[in-house]
């Protein structure tokens, strides 16, 4: 019950309840070694985009920052620029997409 109180349940069909609480895990991972640099566990109801901005606390000047297409936005770009004063980023596109 403690996990359910903190993390909550995912949405289900009307009149049903999910079997287990669900946590959202957002990670900042070093691409070369796959080491976890920073991580956040939060209630499932809090979106990934909101939490990803908090991970910017662990990004430092000189690091190459890559994010998934779901995180690309003007707000994320501004949050990336402000603390570091410069921007080194590469936006990954899913295979088969052109742009």
Residue-wise pLDDT tens digits, 43-97: 888 888 888 888 888 887 777 777 777 777 778 877 777 655 545 544 444 555 4
Question: Do residues 68 and 44 make contact, with C-beta atoms less than 8 angstroms apart?
Answer: no
Please check whether residue 99 lies inside any domain of the structure: no
Give domain status of residue 97, yes or no.
no
Q: Is residue 57 part of a domain?
A: yes
Structural domain that includes position 21: 2-91
Which residues touch 74 (CB under 8 Å, ≥6 apart)?
none
Mean pLDDT to the nearest integer, 4-19: 85
Q: What is the pLDDT of residue 84?
A: 52
Domain count, the chain: 1
d(CA 62, CA 36): 18
In a domain, 96, yes or no: no
Rounded to two decimals, the pTM is 0.66
What pLDDT is recorded for position 49? 81
Cα 30 to Cα 65: distance, rounded to the nearest angstrom: 9
């Amino acid at each position: 019950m403690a996990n359910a109180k903190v993390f909550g349940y995912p949405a289900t069909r009307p009149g049903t309840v999910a079997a287990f609480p669900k946590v959202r895990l957002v990670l900042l991972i070093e691409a070369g070694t796959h080491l976890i640099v920073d991580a956040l566990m939060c209630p499932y109801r809090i979106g990934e985009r909101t939490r990803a901005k908090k991970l910017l606390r662990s990004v430092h000047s000189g690091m190459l920052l890559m994010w998934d297409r779901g995180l690309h936005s003007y707000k994320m770009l501004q949050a990336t620029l402000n603390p570091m004063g410069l921007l080194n980023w590469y936006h990954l596109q899913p295979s088969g997409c052109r742009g």
